[in-house]
Structure 1
Amino acid sequence: MKEYINSNYPDIPYLRERARKRIPRFAFEYLDGGCNAEVNLKRNTDEIRDLQLKPYYLREVINPSLEVELMGKTYAAPFGIAPIGLQGLMWPRASEILAKAAFEHNIPYILSTVGTASLEKISEITEGNAWFQLYHPAEDSLRKDLLDRAAAAEYPVLVVLADVPTFGYRSKEIINGLSIPPKLTLRNILQIMGCPKWAIHTLLAGTPEFKTLKPYIPKGMSLKHLGLFMNKTFDGRLNEDRLKAIRDQWKGKLVMKGVASTEDVEKCVKLGLDGVIVSNHGGRQLDHGESSIGALHPIVEQYKDQIAIMMDSGIRTGPDIASSLAAGAEFAFLGRSFMYGVSALGSRGGDHTISILKKQLYQVMSQLCCAQPQELSHHLIKS
């Protein structure tokens, strides 16, 4: 697909600043923030950028290929779009915009259970090429039904979320009324009035909803009771028995997201999972936990030949992708960068952000004289 780049916003920080001005503060802080004092939010990116890469200049000039094989499919680049809940809160129809862009650029898009588009709609947009991320339901019957729907919609990969056994303590969301149940305050109303384009687009698109979960939510439920329903319906605590039940039912590729220890990876290998995504939920769950890149190293050392190892959390730019792959990840997922893009540029935000990241990554690999993503590990300067 032909690249689209808006020259007014040539990098992710420009998109972030544009998004900050264009959407209500409560929506931006939901997207941008972490938990508690946001220590791990900062540590994630800082430690990726502490890594250094070695260029080799006296080699034959090459044109790098960004293609990589993952989960039985060849993708055009070694990165994808991570699952984010309530995408439609940041920008109306964001889920659909990003899914379409991902499909057209041939990279994976992961839909969250609490996304604002239905799993059937996203499958239609991507012609069965999206991945589905499952928040574990408390009831086995609901889990079975969600997996049956995902299978019927021909999702090739199921991503089970492991790192939300409890909801992170996020003070900004509490102040903004985005805790469960949410509330609309005078402060939020004034913020909406200051963002007329967001307000008009939201009015036209309709109030964001958990579209995948809509069949299970009783009609006419108030916001207060919706919060109670969600807390009762989903139980984020995984264990080996629950993971085994999912493995037994799901016939496609199975990945666990939120892995941060070699002990958990060992269990995933034993249960026959196809991959793991090393992640700390973007610094939104455990403030004093290890960075994603810090957790990656021992996992790669022990299990790189036994299971596909991917990574998210803290990755923002093309150079960040390169460093993450150099550190041993086979594939990288980004969340906030894509939401900055859509919040800043609307329907062109997905194409724009993907094009930026591809161009940045290509430049880094050309500078290093690295022919393909799998060879980036040869350029890591080890301390």
Structure 2
Amino acid sequence: MKKEKIWLSPPHMGGNELKYIQNAFDTNWISQYGANIDEFENSLETYLGNNSYVTALSSGTAAIHLALRLLNVEEGDFVICQSFTFVATANPILYLKAIPVFVDSESQTWNMCPDALEEAIKYCIQQGKKPKAIITVSLYGMPFKVDEILRISKEYEIPIVEDSAEALGSKYKGQPCGTFGDISVISFNGNKIITTGGGGILISRNASVKSRALFLATQAKDKEEFYSHSEIGYNYRIDNIAAGIGRGQLETLEEKITQRRKNHDFYQGMVKNSDHIELFSAPNSDFFSNYWLNTIVLKNNYSKEKLRSKFSQNNIETRYLWKPMHLQPLYKGYLFFGNNLCGTLFEAGLCLPSGTNLTDESRARISEVLENEIH
């Protein structure tokens, strides 16, 4: 008999989601307005602190697109983007017909390399166009090198779009991810640490930017009694039912962070003496990762396909690391700065099951596979 599937990062309900959904039905707010949206945003603003203004949207991708609009990115502008990420980080650059400039990772956090970033900026300036924005990512929940990247951002006066899609609950020097960028983004897609089914938030630093984001996210309707539109807008607002799911999920966020980090401890114990497997971990105490996904790199010519096949045979889902943007067919020919560390990581790495509902039985099955492969 085939064993039950162990998924990589499945949704995990907290208990009160149905209460808030029922409230939406009871009050007949089945739309992009309602108390769930307001309360979800307010709770996230309280959680994030640091003068955060939250606009809840239909996806993290929508939030990145709006962030670039808010920074006045236009056709032909350079936008610097971390290459080692999911395609949703980069695609909004093309939505606006801007030009992505991809930057490699550094080895400690797998995020944007400060040296390669500065090289990219200098190149763009030499071409007569200073980049309009820098999109940096906290990959798999690991904070980027905040101090170094912010220093470069301020020196060259280029705003940061902080893609913390995977990093809700992560912190750098005690400050939450999602509060470092001029505009920041978090995702609530189905596989994230908490979910609204689909959804995301845009985090701005003042109320006027939030007001502008909300205007653009609701079709950019002018202040008239009739429907008047002077500029292009989008149907990007979250709905009241999805926000209700988010309210229930948010109540158990700290428990979910604790469980993800316990998963990391489990994997660390499994592979600490391995000759073939290295677990991606925070470089020092400044970096607090939610370990949304636990990831490994295979060493000494050990085949990731071999390990992935072993897990698959046991009905355990694993996944390749993100294929870097500069290696994607869609982005072939765009500029890339760095030594292709992210390409090397892609070739050698895997994501392991990391859900907050991972059971002792599931861990035992994972252990059985790893124990046969770690030496």
TM-based fold match above 0.5: no
Normalising by structure 2, we get a TM-score of 0.30
Greater radius of gyration (CA): 2
TM-score (norm. length: structure 1): 0.30
Q: Which has the higher contact order (CA 8 A, sep 6+)?
A: 1
